[in-house]
Structure 1
Amino acid sequence: MSWQTYVDSNLVGTGKISRAAILGQQGGVWAASSGYNLAADEQAFLTKVHANPESAQANGIRAAGEKYMCIRADDRSVYGKKGSSGIIVVKTKQGILVAEYVDPTQPGEATKIVEELADYLIGVGF
């Protein structure tokens, strides 16, 4: 399966994720939903945030021009919120899943989708 299929079917295709991307841990966008453009500095931050989760807690999370308040950050998962919208950034063995959701999707619904895809990818070596 291509990386784009994971974004289109397993994330955005669920109807719970509004925009998503998969980044390589070494940099670069492997796949992204249509119109979801992460600036180079945003990509750099998102690929390094798990090594220094305190940076997200102190500065928030920026993606596609939006800034989210960090509500949780550790060496695997970083969650952010902005009003009734949010962002989930999860590290796998080789990639970084970035997914945004909007109202009426609840944070737990979106988190479950992204974390389960991350578990699957980790299980198959990615």
Structure 2
Amino acid sequence: MHGAAHIRAVLGLGCALLSPPGAAGYLGHHGFLAMLRAGGWRGAEVAILDCGDDAGWAWAALRDGMPMVVLRAGGDAARAFPGRVLPQAPPARDLQHWQERRGRGWLEEWAGG
């Protein structure tokens, strides 16, 4: 997810909403949550913030309500927040170059297949 338009496009497809790699370092969890909400996310879909290797970002995000994080070195955070820390990002479709005018067809095909 690179913006609210991407979130709007994916909502309802049953896909997780995944930040770009390492987004916690430049967007922060508050920024990612704000972007999710601006796109219409209300907590029903899984949202995942990629924290790279930084446990500090992951701890802060999880404490403040981020549903899930990617933390390559899970360690204590994975034990403290069971089921909410992933050691790697799930398969994802990068929406960096997608635009609303293209429609959702290829997203729906990818999500369904």
Q: Considering the TM-score relative to the shorter chain, is it more than 0.5?
A: no
After TM superposition, the score normalised by the length of structure 2 is 0.34
If asked which structure has higher relative contact order (CA below 8 Å, sep 6+), I would say 2
Computing the radius of gyration from Cα coordinates, the structure with the larger value is 2
TM-score, length-scaled by structure 1: 0.32
